[in-house]
């Protein structure tokens, strides 16, 4: 099931809301007037309304899906400036950091956790992104700290906590996929599993999971363009004549 996140003070009264299909969990419901600023309704080059953190956040998600990482980061920063307590643009910035191999991924993930609180499922997504981001920049001690903190503080009844259990090596790949009981969860599990495998030097297994997400993943989930970007990375990094 697609999940959207409403923020107080964003929707305008007496206007219908439109959920733009860019990032299902972290896309903020927009009024009809704001929705026209996004790619799905006219192109990301159209400037968002200047006082709308929702529009900047959602346009940032559009840029993220297009691998326009600097533009995405700029829009997420503007959304945070307008609404400093917002979770979703901080998650967006953490994803930019993971995708581009920046150390800031961990700091942004931790800020997202702080904004969400440990009882919120978004803190678990931020944990996963922060952990993988730390590993990408060879900060294995920090990566472990991120998981250990989640083990102490997160609500383990929430999906996607099984992904955290897998990353802590408490369960194996087969057990993780068995717990992904629908296509939404499978999209997420296989994407993060693939990134873990790629960072662990298992590119063939990673490619298999990324291809599944590309071909069968839930449309609108951020893990789909993330997996596609990682597939592109695998092709770029493949040795000449390699498979």
The helix (run of H) or strand (run of E) holding residue 230 is helix 223-237
pTM over the 0.75 mark: yes
pLDDT digits 0-9 by tens, 2-60? 333 333 222 222 333 333 333 345 554 433 333 333 444 344 556 667 789 999 999 99
Go through 14-49 and write b for each residue having 16 or more CB atoms within 10 A of its CB, e for each that does not: eeebbbbebbbbbbbbbbeebbbbbbeeeebeeebe
CA distance linking residue 81 with residue 103, whole number of Å: 21
175: its two tokens = 């057990």
Give the up-direction half-sphere exposure of residue 205: CA atoms within 13 A in the CB hemisphere.
14
Domain-by-domain residue ranges, the chain?
A: 159-243
Q: Is the pLDDT of residue 83 over 70?
A: yes
Contact 189, 180 (CB under 8 A): yes
Query: pLDDT tens-digit profile of 212-226?
Result: 999 999 998 999 999
């Amino acid at each position: 099931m697609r999940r959207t996140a409403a923020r107080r003070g964003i929707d305008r009264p007496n206007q219908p809301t439109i959920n733009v299909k860019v990032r299902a969990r972290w896309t903020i419901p927009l009024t009809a007037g704001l929705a026209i600023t996004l790619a799905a309704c006219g192109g990301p080059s159209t400037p968002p309304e200047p006082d709308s953190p929702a529009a900047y956040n959602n346009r940032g998600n559009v840029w993220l899906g297009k691998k326009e990482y600097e533009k995405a980061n700029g829009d997420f920063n503007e959304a945070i400036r307008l609404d400093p307590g917002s979770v979703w643009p901080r998650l967006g910035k953490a994803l930019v950091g993971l995708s581009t191999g920046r150390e800031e991924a961990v700091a942004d993930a931790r800020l997202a956790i702080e904004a969400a609180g440990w009882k919120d499922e978004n803190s678990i997504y931020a944990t996963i992104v922060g952990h993988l981001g730390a590993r990408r920049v060879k900060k294995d001690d920090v990566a472990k700290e991120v998981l250990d903190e989640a083990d102490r503080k997160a609500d383990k009844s929430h999906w996607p906590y099984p992904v955290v259990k897998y990353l802590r090596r408490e369960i194996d790949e087969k057990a993780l996929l068995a717990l992904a009981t629908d296509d939404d969860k499978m999209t997420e599990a296989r994407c993060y599993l693939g990134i873990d495998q790629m960072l662990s030097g298992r590119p063939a297994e990673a490619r298999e999971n990324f291809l599944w997400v590309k071909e069968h993943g839930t449309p609108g989930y951020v893990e789909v363009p993330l997996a596609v970007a990682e597939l592109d990375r695998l092709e770029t990094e493949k040795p000449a004549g390699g498979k």
